[in-house]
Structure 1
Amino acid sequence: MAFWWKKTPKTASDYAKLLSEQLNKFENATTIDSRRKVQDDCSKYLTGTKHFLLGEVEPEPTPEAVDELYGAIYQLDILRDLLVNLPELEFEARKDVALIFATCLRHSRDNKFVTVDYLVTRPNVVALMLRTPELALSKPNSSDLFLKAGFIILEALKYEQLCRIMLRDPQIWLFFDFAKGGSFEVSTESFQILTNLFTIHQKPVATEFFSQPINLQKFIDKINKLMAHGNYVTKRQSVKLLHSLIMIRSYNHLLTAYINSPDNLKLIMILLSDRSKNLQLGSFNIFKVFVANPRKSKPILDIMVKNRDKLLHYLMSFNTDSKDATFLDEKEYVVQEIESLPRLVSPNSDPSLGTSP
């Protein structure tokens, strides 16, 4: 692969040194021609570095040589520089950056993930990782740049130590905004990041995130806003995310807080009457948890009692063509629970079902 290089690397660490030199040239590349030249050179050096890390050079690098390159990457702070300059790189070069990050994160020695341990000591790099998608949205071709930055975050979230750092970063709340206001690609990627953040490593989410009342209420406010004011795709994905989270046994703090709020119940009842069958089904999966709660608060019971007849009427015609045995059993259970509620002589219904509470 020597033809890629202006200077032929003599040692493994030279790959990182030469790449670092090129990345640092962006700062002084003030003209279009000079910037394009730096882009071209960075693309070549990134390709060479990628091939070395993957063992795709002749002769095949030894494990010691590969370790030497990783050591130089850490010493020269290459991962940070790649994030800083990601918007400046060409399309294919960004793909190489994403692949280099994923490869580095998988690098292990003595049963330890070396790059992960390195990043734990560099929380500023992890913070920059989370900020890069926001910066991407202010650049041309923002969707592609956002997706590459998102891919790097998704790779990092596979490792519990890095997930813990991200859970403490206020930047994570912006992904709810990206999910609501971005393009289809940006919205979908944001939901994937939120889903992985809250589901892959459940212990720190339960013990360090949802155990804090401030985080708990902010999460509920954010997810409710997506369900109430998002477009169809946003509503559907946020309903799906909420349902998946409240069904996780260790997330009892979230479950308890959500199903004891009358405002939350009203929102789910509104979504039950949405024109979309998929949204109706997704909302039903959350509504049934309200119904199944054996310790319903008085405000929750009051809403259900006032809307008893309306709910029963709605459920009679709800998804009647389904042959799913599990759904049919759950629907029958919900109907029975609602039928067991007291019946008011002159019931008033919730606004979600057409009348006032």
Structure 2
Amino acid sequence: MKGLFKSKPRTPADVVRQTRELLIFLDLHSGSRGGDAKREEKMAELSKNIRELKSILYGNGESEPVTEACVQLTQEFFRENTLRLLIICLPKLNLETRKDATQVVANLQRQQVSSKIVASEYLEANKDLLDTLISGYENMDIALHYGSMLRECIRHQSIARYVLESDHMKKFFDYIQLPNFDIASDASATFKELLTRHKATVAEFLSKNYDWFFSEFNTRLLSSTNYITKRQAIKLLGDMLLDRSNSAVMMRYVSSKDNLMILMNLLRDSSKNIQIEAFHVFKLFAANKNKPTEVVNILVTNRSKLLRFFAGFKIDKDKEQVIKEISAL
């Protein structure tokens, strides 16, 4: 009789439900000793399930993902708190399973059910999960996994707005300068995404938070002694100010003599790369047709030095126009 009644293959929803049950078990037995046989068995089963979820969403190398299967999986995943459980339990998973889980969460941010991104709706109702993900930068073991999940979550404009408007934004100035290079780089990537992806939301944030944000940006990032921090910051500043959505913020920034002095110092940096990025911001000061008197005075006082500097500056685009603007002062 053996083999006569074959077990019914699991549906994507079944895999999600079983994954959820295993996560609940793991969460409840988190204090168990590592050698607990039952726990080890459940962990192995959980790893297998998460790997299967990933295979359904991404395909398995031999076949493409099936739309209907992805829809079923997504519906069941967000029907209950599977995402919350997965995020909370992530530190308890082994490295490979963490990687798989991170990819599952990333993919689910893009899955549509009846033309709706259900992940966005779920996150809007569970914004505390964003707090958990951001705080992950303070834990070396999970920082990169949580950081990757976070960047996928802020693809949703409402979620990016929540992070921008939260106190967490101030923490990024610390995270970007963490001594661990990989974590600092990851935090920097998230910071850049927050400040460039959703144009209207970013413009609103920068306008409302101009004073504290650029005070921190100038003193902690542009004035950093760390080459990578400084280079990424000046590049990001250029990206923000040159974006049309931020034109009002740009005009305010280039009307400040303090900002001008910071940029002039960066033009003298020992790194050519930083000099070039600084030039792209400096040219905005030069091109401003309504320069405040104090900005004009600084440019006039330093006109000879600036003209000599730009004469030997190895950049063609816009250089002649900048020289023309300064010469005309």
TM over 0.5: yes
1:218 offset after TM fit, Å?
A: 2.3
Percent of residue pairs identical: 32
Moved more, 68-77 or 235-244: 68-77
- Residue 167 of structure 2 corresponds to which residue in structure 1? 170
Code of the aligned partner of 2:296:
L
Q: Aligned pair in 2 of structure 1 residues 36, 239: CA closer, same or farther (>3 Å)?
A: farther
Contact 2:287 2:322 in 1 (8 A): yes
CA pair 294-69 structure 1, distance change in 2 beyond 3 A: same
Match of 1:47 in 2: 51
* CA spacing shift, 1:286–1:334, aligned 2, 3 Å: same
Structure 1 CA distance, aligned partners of 2:58 and 2:267?
51
Among 32, 49, 63, the residue aligned to 2:34: 32
2:103 alignment partner in structure 1:
99
Whole-angstrom CA distance in 2 between matches of 1:317 and 1:62: 59
Partner amino acid for 1:300? Answer: V
TM-score by length of 1: 0.80
Unmatched runs of 5 consecutive residues or more in structure 1: 1-6, 342-357
The Cα shift of 1:65 comes to 5.8
Distance 1:118 1:88 in 2: 23
Within 2, Cα distance between the matches of 1:54 and 1:288? 45
Q: Is the 8 A contact 1:16 1:76 kept in 2?
A: no
- Length, aligned pairs only: 318
2:321 match: 333
- List per-residue Cα deviations over 1:99-123 (Å, max 9, x = no partner): 1112211211222212222222222
Out of 108, 113, 118, the position equivalent to 1:109 is 113
Counterpart CA distance in 1 for 2:41 and 2:168 is 34
Cα shift at 1:48:
2.6
Deviation at 1:235, TM superposition (A): 0.8
**Would you say the 8 A contact 1:163–1:197 is kept in 2?**
yes
1:80 pairs with 2:84: yes
Specify the alignment match of 1:193 in structure 2.
190
Is the 8 Å Cα contact of residues 56 and 69 (structure 2) preserved in structure 1? no
- Gap runs ≥5 in structure 2: 1-6
Q: CA RMSD in A?
A: 2.8
* Cα deviation, residue 168, structure 1: 2.0
1:67 Cα deviation (Å)?
Answer: 4.0
Q: Distance in 2 between matches of 1:242 and 1:111?
A: 36
Shift of 1:17: 2.8
C-alpha distance in 2, partners of 1:114/1:42?
24
The CA distance in 2 between the partners of 1:265 and 1:339, in whole Å, is: 17
Aligned partner of residue 223 in structure 1, secondary structure: helix
Whether 2:211 is the aligned partner of 1:221: answer: no
| Alpha-carbon distance in structure 2 between the residues aligned to 1:177 and 1:47 | 34
Q: Give 3-state SS (helix, strand or coil) of 2:244's partner.
A: coil
CA–CA separation in structure 1 for the residues paired with 2:236 and 2:59: 39
